[in-house]
Chains A and B, each alone.
Chain A
Amino acid sequence: MPEQTIKSRPVYSPLQLDPGGRRHLLVADGEGVAERGLAPGTAAADFDERWTIVSHSRAIPSPDEGVSEHGFRSLPHLLAALRRRLGDERMGFRLYAVGAEPFLWTINALAGELGLGGAEIHLCAVGPQARRVFCNHCRTITEGVTTNVVTCAGCNASLFVRDHFSKRLNAFAGVQVDAESPGEIPDIEELYA
């Protein structure tokens, strides 16, 4: 679980069912992922429905009412179904997501667009801690960053990877590390594996 170093770095808690809600949907970005994000005493079966990205092409969600497990081929495949589901849902609904940090904030953005507020969305980060890095200078997002300094995929600046995180952009800020003394780059460390 990532630590909070500054206030704009999200912190996560293992998920429990929100007792105020009436219908609960749990989404996860891989098989076996959901369980790693649940609090002791909370089981995946406690949620009315579970949607999982299973990453193979034959996966297909069930068309029947009342089925609680659904598999999706990929993130876009799941998002299309989630958009429709949230559009049809009523007040009293709660959405839960478990997976890598970028997955969570993609889900969060869709949920916010469809009217859910902070109290109706619950997120828990598990898995790889690689970061998406937004270059403050050219706006390119560099994916899968595990080091403290990374070369921007857009403008080639050596970017220091900050802990300042934007939920809207779903990325950490990257600022040129050697603007004042060109070429002076700190030692590269693997921090976010």
Chain B
Amino acid sequence: MSIAFKSDESFREPFRYSNSDEAILRFPFPFAEDSYMYSVNIEPHVRGGPTGAFQAAFDVDEHYVAECRERAMVLRQDPSRCMVLPHMVPAQWDTLELIMESLAEDYPDQFTLERQGETWTWTNRPLGLRDRFTFGDLRSLPREPFEYVTRQAQGDFTIQDQREGNLFMDGGMVTTQADWSLEFDLGMSFHEWHGPVPVAHELGVFDRALQYLMRIQYGKPVRRLNWTMTVNPRLDTSPENYPVWGPDRTTVTPGNVGDALHLRVELQTLFRLPRSNAILFGIRAYLASIAELARVPKWGRRLHRVLRDLHPELAAYKGLVRYRDAAVGYLAAFDDGAPTGAGIAPDTARLRAAA
């Protein structure tokens, strides 16, 4: 299967980003109903789902090359956006094996993994890489295994150590995050790193989620969707660089909100890793402007209703306060009050014309 990579995209000033029609139709739209509240909402991560974004273990799309380049830029500006505690070396190798095997299986035209015993040869055609190394030997790779392989995958990743009846976030590659700090949260337990999230603790969401995650079995990964909004197609919305991107939030007007405001959806996947018994948490971020999403009639109606009726504490936590009214005003034009179908699928194969 060939992918038309949009290699010239930019996720920072000056922005250059858009989704093709196919990318819009395969977008993991996160709202299955017309209103939103936290839930555990975990399901098995199988190959296949309501849209094309769910078809692979680790989804690769038209933005792959540009996103990998963006990641490399973030790391040149701040290497601490990838950190792994020393005891997680087995989990690093587990992650490398899982991602390489998955990419090679799901995208054989783009990635090849050859193995002769412990000697592995990895070919990444979109990035023009070919590396031979010894599995298990840190010195045979140009970087530590976790950083090496996550530089070649879209989305952020963390590795959780399971011990003392809890999960500890003991490593991560975090360059496309929605405003949380890897360096600050490194080493925290499950409830601690979720500490700042409002409302959910009282609902017991994290207690149940932790119990569920600790029982995830090898070979049976799970997934869920999370969402927030970003002004401009900016991937690096880290707390570290908040002084740089924070002002973007004040630039949204009713006139530009359709193209400037993006829905940022995280397809979160969780895999049990074999040697380390750790959990790999993949946080695959997808961006689409609300104008792009409104080209799907069902999504235009539903997004209007969700944002209009969103719990104020959630709106504040997700950073939407400054532009929520502009967004709701813009989307109102796409909501004729008609009923929307259940589930997240677009329920159409054709988009409205672009504005």
The answer to whether B181 and A136 touch across the interface, beta carbons within 8 angstroms, is: yes
- Supposing A7-B191, A9-B195 touch, asked if A166 and B243 sit within 8 A by C-beta, the answer is no
Residue of A nearest to B241 (CB): A137
* Contact for A8 among B183, B192, B240, CB less than 8 A: B192
How far is the CB of A137 from the nearest CB of chain B, in Å?
6
Count: A-B pairs, CB below 8 Å:
69
- Bound complex: CA A108 to CA B43 (Å): 38
The answer to whether residues A179 and B246 also contact, given A8-B195, A8-B196, A173-B181 and a CB cut-off of 8 A, is yes
Q: Does A38 count as interface, using CB distance less than 8 angstroms?
A: no
Query: Residue of A at shortest CB range from B181?
Result: A136
| Residue in B186, B195, B246, B249 whose beta carbon sits within 8 Å of that of A164 in the complex | B195
B185 at the interface (CB under 8 A from A): yes
| Chain B contacts for A176, CB-based, 8 A | 242-243, 246
Contact of A168 among B80, B187, B241 (CB under 8 A): B187
Question: A149-193, CB under 8 A of B: which get 1 and which 0?
Answer: 000000001000011101111000101100111100000000000
The reply to whether the CB of B142 lies closer than 8 angstroms to some CB of chain A is no
Q: Are B242 and A164 in contact (CB under 8 A)?
A: no
Give per-residue flags for A116-128: 1 if the beta carbon is below 8 A from chain B beta carbons, else 0. Answer: 0111000000000
- Indicate whether B128 reaches chain A with its CB closer than 8 angstroms: no
Pick the contact of A169: B184, B194, B242 (CB < 8 A): B184
Known: A136-B181, A180-B250. A118 touches B164 (CB 8 A): yes
- What separation, in Å, do the CA atoms of A167 and B193 have in the docked complex? 11
With both beta carbons as reference points, the residue of chain B lying nearest to A166 in the complex is identified as B184
Asked if B196 and A180 sit within 8 Å, CB to CB, the answer is: no
The contact string, 1 if C-beta is below 8 Å from chain A, for chain B 190-202, is 0111111000010
Task: Give B167-195 interface residues, CB cut-off 8 Å to A.
Answer: 181, 183-188, 191-195
A72 at the interface (CB under 8 A from B): no
User: Do A6 and B239 have beta carbons less than 8 Å apart?
Assistant: no
B312 contacts chain A at the CB level, 8 A cutoff: no
Contact-residue bracket for chain A: 20 to 34
CB distance from B322 to the nearest CB of A (A): 7
Asked if B14 is an interface residue, CB under 8 A from chain A, the answer is no
B319 and chain A: residue at smallest CB distance: A180
A105 to chain B minimum Cβ distance, whole angstroms, is 11
CB pair A7 B239 closer than 8 Å: no
A134 within 8 A of B: yes
Interface residues of B in 244-287 (CB under 8 A from A): 246-247, 249-250
A139, CB-defined interface residue at 8 Å? yes
Complex Cα distance, B249 from A169, in Å, reads 30
A9-B195, A139-B183 given; A166·B246 CB < 8 A: no
* CB-based contact B195/A167 at 8 Å: no
- Give complex CA distance A176, B242 in Å: 8
The residue on B at minimum CB distance from A171 is: B184
Give B168 Cβ to nearest chain A Cβ, in Å: 10
Contacts of A164 in B (CB 8 A): 184, 195-196
Q: How far is the CB of A176 from chain B (nearest CB, A)?
A: 5
Could you pull out 15 A-B pairs where Cβ atoms are within 8 angstroms?
A6-B195, A7-B192, A7-B195, A8-B196, A136-B239, A137-B241, A164-B184, A166-B185, A166-B187, A167-B192, A173-B181, A175-B242, A176-B242, A176-B246, A180-B246
Interface residues of B (CB under 8 A from A): 80, 164, 181, 183-188, 191-196, 201, 206, 239-243, 246-247, 249-250, 322
Q: A166-B187, A173-B181, A180-B322 are in contact. List 14 more A-B contacts (CB 8 A).
A: A7-B206, A8-B191, A8-B196, A9-B195, A117-B164, A137-B240, A137-B242, A139-B80, A164-B196, A169-B183, A169-B184, A173-B184, A179-B243, A180-B247
Q: Which 6 A-B pairs have the closest CB atoms?
A: A8-B195, A179-B246, A168-B187, A7-B195, A8-B192, A136-B239
